[in-house]
Amino acid sequence: MQRKITFFMLSASGSPIKQATVSRTFLRFSGLFVTACIIFFGFAIYDHYDVKLKLSNIRGVESDLSEQSDIIVTQRKKIKKFADEINSLKSKLVDLNSFEKKLRIVANIEKPAGQDNLFGIGGSTPSDLNTQIPLTDKHNSLVREMHEQVKQLDFASINQKQGFESLLKYLEDQQNLLASTPAIRPVSGWTSSRFGYRVSPFTGLREFHKGLDIATRTGTPIVATADGVVTFAGRKGSLGKMIIIDHGHGMVTRYGHADKLLKKGGEVVKRGDTVALVGNTGRSTGSHLHYEVRLNGIPVNPEKYILN
């Protein structure tokens, strides 16, 4: 038996004006329907906000992807620029190596063993890196080649440095040798007696003259004809007051008959430094300088060492 519920609607005065009867089953279904509607709308609202949240996340991801894509493009541009710089550096190293070879040919200097090739014995100059790869392509192979060529350039730079260092050392040695080689007139004046056999002005006999006599006024400056160290300064028999300079490499110069000595033993002198004044000391027929050049203890012609 179905139960019913009766509702009375009252007027403002309190007297019933309408009457409605509703079954309990209808009320239950109505309650379920309302509950279902609330649940449905709740899920709909939740789903709406969930979709909005996901859309927001998707837009964030898209923004991040776009930003990452820009970063990747920028990085690939930098990789290509670095590859261009490697090509440029390699070209400069090759040019430097060619310049060193030209210097060695001009100076007739052999390159040390093991430095014949810039990139190692039997090695050849690496091909230029391909920097025309599109920015949309992967640059993995280019990066690998760059790493390999950086190693090769590091080896080449060390090799080139050693080449220039050996060249510089040789040239410095040559410079020292040149600076230590007599090359100028020791005094102004005129030649009164040359190197070689002559008739002695004292004995009238034929004798070997070991130096070069340059006649000039007393007090005329005598200069060192090359860099060296004074090994003797004093009187030496018939040559009177004398300065002896050791220039190294077996080269020695001697300056005799001086009036006054201006340097002492042990002093370092440079080419052109005044070491004494012309005089007439010792066995001499007049004011002049007796100048000798000795190589490994043997007198040689001083005129061969006068370039001015």
Torsion angle defined by CA atoms of residues 105, 111, 117 and 119, in that order, rounded to the nearest 10 degrees: -120
**Residue 154 contacts residue 120 (beta carbons within 8 Å):** no
Indicate if the pLDDT at residue 204 is higher than 90: no
Distance CA 294, CA 137 (A): 76
Distance CA 114, CA 239 (A): 54
85, two tokens: 């710089």
Distance CA 110, CA 144 (A): 37
Indicate if the pLDDT at residue 90 is higher than 70: yes
Distance CA 280, CA 288 (A): 6
**Residue 213 contacts residue 201 (beta carbons within 8 Å):** no
- Mean pLDDT check: name the lowest of 8-12, 104-108, 125-129, 203-207: 8-12
Q: Between these two residues, 13 and 298, which has the higher pLDDT value?
A: 298
Residues 6+ apart with CB under 8 A from 195: 209, 210, 211, 212, 299, 300, 301, 302, 303
Average predicted confidence (pLDDT) for the chain: 81
Q: What is the pLDDT of residues 164-200, one digit of tens each?
A: 888 888 888 888 888 899 999 999 999 999 998 887 7
In the chain, % of residues over pLDDT 70? 79
pTM: 0.56
Provide φ and ψ at 176, rounded to 5°: -65, -40
Distance CA 70, CA 103 (A): 49
Indicate if the pLDDT at residue 13 is higher than 60: no
Indicate if the pLDDT at residue 40 is higher than 80: no
Indicate if the pLDDT at residue 135 is higher than 60: no
Indicate if the pLDDT at residue 304 is higher than 80: yes
**Residue 31 contacts residue 24 (beta carbons within 8 Å):** no
Q: Using alpha carbons, select from 16, 29, 14, 15 the residue that is nearest to residue 6.
A: 16
Residues 6+ apart with CB under 8 A from 219: 259, 260, 277, 278, 279
Q: Which amino acid is at 241?
A: K
What is the model's pLDDT at position 254?
97
**Residue 186 contacts residue 213 (beta carbons within 8 Å):** no
Indicate if the pLDDT at residue 241 is higher than 60: yes
Q: What is the mean pLDDT of residues 207-221?
A: 93
Indicate if the pLDDT at residue 235 is higher than 70: yes
Q: Using alpha carbons, select from 218, 287, 286, 228 the residue that is nearest to residue 253.
A: 228
Q: How many residues are given for the chain?
A: 308
Q: Using alpha carbons, select from 302, 131, 148 the residue that is nearest to residue 226.
A: 302
